[in-house]
């Protein structure tokens, strides 16, 4: 808190606003923006890993594995994503506790599900009942990240599966003619070449991922939506030094603008990235770049 | 036995029938009936937003393709704002905006409840997404078709009505089918974003999460919900496919592109 803010009742106009925007709860809101960025930073690579696994499984020669991969892609895409978020957060939590329960308490003889209760032995609880608050919060966040990764992994799997199939057949045939095995062809030919085909889809996915981050609120994480609702609600002078009427509409307007700026910036970066990836590729975009370069002369 | 539950809870989401939700000893039948009852709201929001959004989307697409900056700029901004921000935040913003407006003018009273307020947000949102799709279709109308129309003396409104617009729809239809599917998926957000479910009259996801919370068992209600949505998706694909074959009926029948599940466009 700034030193000038000790008695907000005497302040007016801009100083009041400055003090108001630097209260402890507002700092929590700014931290929550960091949470969103952290979620994006962890989820994007994790979803890529899930997606890669899904795409490889869907291409596999082993039939059950192929069904698994294709089923993963199809089911997650056919059902509202919000339902999946709500489902996985509970299902993952119970799944982890159940596994720990089986390992740590092998001689527990009561059923785990009793009517409307889910009972595991005390040492199997996740996190443990006596764990400090930050462990609970981190665990909740980790569950949210895993949920996001599973759902977005299915979308990424779909994109990567398409991209792998888009690599020209002749390239694969040439590799086979050189005597490369299936695995070698995949590692040396398909994977390095698929990115240019995957990039538009992955870029699209990144935008979707950004726009899905407020759903953290539904998963019980104290994110920006949570704080915007908290801070915006009408406050009387009995509970705060900064009484104000219902300002939630302004807080959500700010969030709206935040997301607009974020997606716009991403769009610009993605356009640059895609131009770079198309460089020297035998695709329409690559050809356009080559022509533009030829017209502009060497630089 | 399930028949009785159907009578009691079949229209529960509209406030008709048994008022109290089941509190203990939940049967499979209760879950299927109540979640199905909630689907009424998903269909209501989806159908009305899709139809009204279709009209606005056509206007926006034409505006965005216009040479006149006074028409083009507002259309571009509208599409940018609604496609560039999360629908989740749009719902929250819309709800609190309508709450504030209600204090100023009582006309906005119905907008603070879901049936009207959420519908308006969904209408604007789907209009923006569809406008982008239709704009793409408009850009892809073959030059030859327009030249041929000019040669027949068709200009202005008549050319748009009889040549440009049907061709735009035909080209955009597979992507628009996809938009329709994800619009229905998006309707599940409504009751999680401030819009109150009065007397617990909610949509399918509202009831599914109610059961999941009460029974602490997500493995029953959510698969039921998934089943309903897969059915709904199949119905949409069927209906839109019907329209698609009508839009393409003048073409050689082998070249028709059937709408299929195209890459996801979620908000």
Asked if the Cβ–Cβ distance from B92 to A225 is below 8 Å, we say yes
Any B CB within 8 A of A117 CB = yes
- Three-state DSSP at A205 gives helix
Q: What is the pLDDT of residue A2?
A: 62
**Residue B191: which of B180, B178, B176, B201 has the closest Cα?**
B201
DSSP string, B193-206: TT---GGG---HHH
**What are the contacts of B66-74 at 24+ separation with CB within 8 A?**
none
**Residue B263: which of B180, B202, B175 has the closest Cα?**
B175
Q: What is the pLDDT of residue A137?
A: 85
Spell out which residues of chain B touch residue A213, defining contact as CB-CB under 8 Å: 86
Which residue of B24, B89, B233 is in closest CB contact with A255? B89
Residue in this structure with the two tokens 């050189």, named with its chain if needed:
A178
Chain B residues contacting A via beta carbons under 8 Å:
24, 26, 80-81, 84-90, 92-93, 96-97, 99-100, 185-186, 188-189, 192, 205, 208-209, 212, 214-219, 222, 225-226, 229-230, 233, 261, 263-267
DSSP string, chain B: -HHHHHHHHTTGGGT-S--SPP-SS--HHHHHHHHHHHHHHHHHHHHHHHHHHHHHHHHHHHHHT-S-HHHHHHHHHHHHHHHHS-HHHHHHHHHHHHHHHHHH-GGGGGGGSHHHHHHHHHHHHHHHHHHHHHHHHHHTS-HHHHHHHHHTT--HHHHIIIIIHHHHHHHHHHHHHHHHHHHHHHGGGGGGTT---GGG---HHHHHHHHHHHHS-TTTHHHHHHHHHHHHHHHHHHHHHHHHHHHTTTS-GGGPPPP--PSP---
At how many degrees (to 10) do helices B165-186 and B114-139 cross?
140
- The rounded distance, in Å, linking the Cα atoms of B37 and A239 is 42
Which residue of A75, A211, A229 is in closest CB contact with B267? A211
Arithmetic mean of pLDDT over chain A: 84
Asked if the Cβ–Cβ distance from B80 to A260 is below 8 Å, we say yes
CA distance A227 to chain B (A): 13
Instruction: Enumerate residues 6+ apart whose C-beta is below 8 A from B258.
Output: B174, B241, B244
- Three-state DSSP at A118 gives strand
Asked if the Cβ–Cβ distance from B93 to A256 is below 8 Å, we say yes
Can you give the pTM of this predicted structure?
0.87
Instruction: Enumerate residues 6+ apart whose C-beta is below 8 A from B158.
Output: none
Q: How many beta-carbon pairs below 8 A join chains A and B? A: 128
Instruction: Enumerate residues 6+ apart whose C-beta is below 8 A from A67.
Output: none
> A36, A216 in Cβ contact below 8 A?
yes
- Three-state DSSP at A113 gives strand
Average pLDDT (B248-255) is 75
Residues forming a β-bridge with A117? A114
Any B CB within 8 A of A123 CB = no
Asked if the Cβ–Cβ distance from B80 to A215 is below 8 Å, we say no
Apex CA B248: angle with CA B244 and CA B252, to 5°? 140
Q: Is residue B255 pLDDT above 80, yes or no?
A: no
Residue in this structure with the two tokens 């406030």, named with its chain if needed:
B15
Percentage of chain B exceeding pLDDT 90: 63
Q: How far, in Å, are A24, A32, A103, A229 from residue A234 at the CA level?
A: 17, 21, 50, 10
Q: What is the pLDDT of residue B264?
A: 47
Beta strand ranges found along chain A (DSSP E): 113-114, 117-118
Asked if the Cβ–Cβ distance from A91 to B229 is below 8 Å, we say no
Q: pLDDT, tens digit, for every residue of A156-177?
A: 998 899 899 888 889 899 999 9
CA distance A263 to chain B (A): 6
Q: Which strand (E) or helix (H) includes residue A259? A: helix A248-278
- The rounded distance, in Å, linking the Cα atoms of A29 and A38 is 14
Any B CB within 8 A of A21 CB = no
CA distance A77 to chain B (A): 7
Asked if the Cβ–Cβ distance from B226 to A78 is below 8 Å, we say yes
**Residue A79: which of A1, A130, A182, A150 has the closest Cα?**
A150
The token pair at B175 is: 């992507």
Q: Give me the phi and psi of A168, to 5 degrees please.
A: -50, 135
Fold held by B26-255: MetI-like fold (1.10.3720)
Q: Is the ipTM of this complex over 0.90?
A: no
DSSP string, B18-54: --SPP-SS--HHHHHHHHHHHHHHHHHHHHHHHHHHH
Asked if the Cβ–Cβ distance from A90 to B209 is below 8 Å, we say no
For B233, the closest chain A residue by CA position comes to: A78
Spell out which residues of chain A touch residue B80, defining contact as CB-CB under 8 Å: 260, 264
Average pLDDT (B154-164) is 92
Q: pLDDT, tens digit, for every residue of A40-56?
A: 999 999 999 999 999 99
Q: Is residue A179 pLDDT above 60, yes or no?
A: yes
Spell out which residues of chain A touch residue B88, defining contact as CB-CB under 8 Å: 211, 214-215, 217, 225
Percentage of chain A exceeding pLDDT 70: 92
Which residue of B85, B217, B267 is in closest CB contact with A256? B85
The residue ranges of every structural domain in chain B are 26-255
More confident residue, B55 or B182: B55
Asked if the Cβ–Cβ distance from A259 to B89 is below 8 Å, we say yes
Q: What is the pLDDT of residue A298?
A: 47
Confidence of residue B225 (pLDDT cuts 50, 70, 90): very high
What CATH code is assigned to A3-296? 1.10.3720.10
Spell out which residues of chain B touch residue A206, defining contact as CB-CB under 8 Å: none
- The rounded distance, in Å, linking the Cα atoms of B108 and B126 is 22
- The rounded distance, in Å, linking the Cα atoms of B31 and B225 is 10
Tell me, what DSSP letter sits at residue A279?
Answer: T
Spell out which residues of chain A touch residue B85, defining contact as CB-CB under 8 Å: 211, 256, 259-260, 263
Q: Which strand (E) or helix (H) includes residue A42? A: helix A24-59
> A32, A222 in Cβ contact below 8 A?
yes
Which residue of B81, B226, B263 is in closest CB contact with A158? B263
Q: pLDDT, tens digit, for every residue of A216-274?
A: 888 878 888 888 888 888 887 777 777 888 888 999 999 999 999 999 999 999 888 87
> B190, B91 in Cβ contact below 8 A?
yes
Percentage of chain A exceeding pLDDT 90: 23
Q: How far, in Å, are A97, A174, A245, A249 from residue A253 at the CA level?
A: 40, 56, 16, 6
Go through A205-232 and write b for each residue having 16 or more CB atoms within 10 A of its CB, e for each that does not.
bbbbbbbbbbbbbbbebbbbbbbbbebb
């Amino acid at each position: 808190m700034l030193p000038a803010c000790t008695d907000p009742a005497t302040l007016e106009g801009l100083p009041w606003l400055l003090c108001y925007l630097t209260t402890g709860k507002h700092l929590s809101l700014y931290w929550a923006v960091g949470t969103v960025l952290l979620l994006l930073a962890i989820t994007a690579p994790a979803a890529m890993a899930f997606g890669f696994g899904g795409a490889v499984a869907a291409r596999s020669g082993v039939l059950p594995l192929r069904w698994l991969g294709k089923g993963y892609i199809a089911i997650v895409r056919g059902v509202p994503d919000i339902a999946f978020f709500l489902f996985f957060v509970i299902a993952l939590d119970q799944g982890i506790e159940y596994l720990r329960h089986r390992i740590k308490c092998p001689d527990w003889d009561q059923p785990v599900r009793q009517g409307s209760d889910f009972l595991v032995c005390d040492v199997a609880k996740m996190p443990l009942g006596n764990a400090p608050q930050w462990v609970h919060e981190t665990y909740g966040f980790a569950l949210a990240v895993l949920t996001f990764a599973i759902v977005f992994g299915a979308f990424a799997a779909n994109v990567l599966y398409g991209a792998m199939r888009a690599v020209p057949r002749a390239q694969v045939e040439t590799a086979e003619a050189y005597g490369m095995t299936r695995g070698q062809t995949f590692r040396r030919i398909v994977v390095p070449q698929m990115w240019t085909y995957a990039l538009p889809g992955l870029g699209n996915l990144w935008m979707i991922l950004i726009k899905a981050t407020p759903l953290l609120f539904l998963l019980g994480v104290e994110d920006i939506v949570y704080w915007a609702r908290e801070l915006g609600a009408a406050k009387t002078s009995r509970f705060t030094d900064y009484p104000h009427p219902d300002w939630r509409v302004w807080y959500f307007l700010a969030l709206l603008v935040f997301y607009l700026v974020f997606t716009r910036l991403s769009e610009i970066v993605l356009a640059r990235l895609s131009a770079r990836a198309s460089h020297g590729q035998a695709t329409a975009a690559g050809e356009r770049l080559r022509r533009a370069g030829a017209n502009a002369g060497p630089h | 036995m399930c028949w009785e539950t159907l009578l009691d809870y079949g229209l529960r989401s509209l406030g008709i029938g048994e008022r109290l939700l089941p509190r203990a000893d939940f049967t499979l039948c209760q879950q299927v009936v109540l979640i199905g009852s909630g689907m009424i709201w998903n269909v209501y929001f989806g159908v009305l937003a899709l139809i009204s959004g279709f009209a606005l989307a056509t206007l926006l697409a034409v505006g965005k393709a216009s040479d006149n900056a006074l028409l083009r700029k507002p259309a571009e901004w509208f599409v940018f704002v609604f496609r560039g921000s999360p629908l989740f935040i749009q719902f929250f913003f819309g709800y609190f905006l309508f709450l504030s407006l209600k204090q100023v003018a009582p006309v906005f009273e119905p907008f603070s409840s879901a049936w009207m307020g959420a519908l308006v947000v969904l209408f604007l949102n789907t209009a923006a997404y569809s406008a982008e799709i239709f704009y793409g279709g408009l850009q892809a109308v073959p030059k030859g078709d327009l030249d041929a129309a000019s040669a027949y003396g068709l200009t202005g409104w008549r050319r748009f009505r009889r040549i440009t617009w049907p061709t735009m729809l035909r080209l955009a239809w597979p992507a628009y089918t996809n938009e329709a599917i994800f619009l229905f998926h998006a309707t599940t957000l409504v009751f999680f974003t401030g819009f109150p479910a009065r007397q617990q009259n909610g949509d399918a996801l509202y009831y599914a999460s109610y059961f999941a919370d009460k029974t602490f068992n997500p493995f029953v209600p959510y698969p039921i919900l998934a089943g309903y949505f897969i059915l709904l998706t199949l119905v949409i694909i069927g209906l839109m496919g019907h329209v698609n074959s009508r839009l393409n009926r003048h073409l050689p029948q082998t070249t028709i592109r059937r709408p299929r599940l195209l890459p996801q466009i979620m908000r």
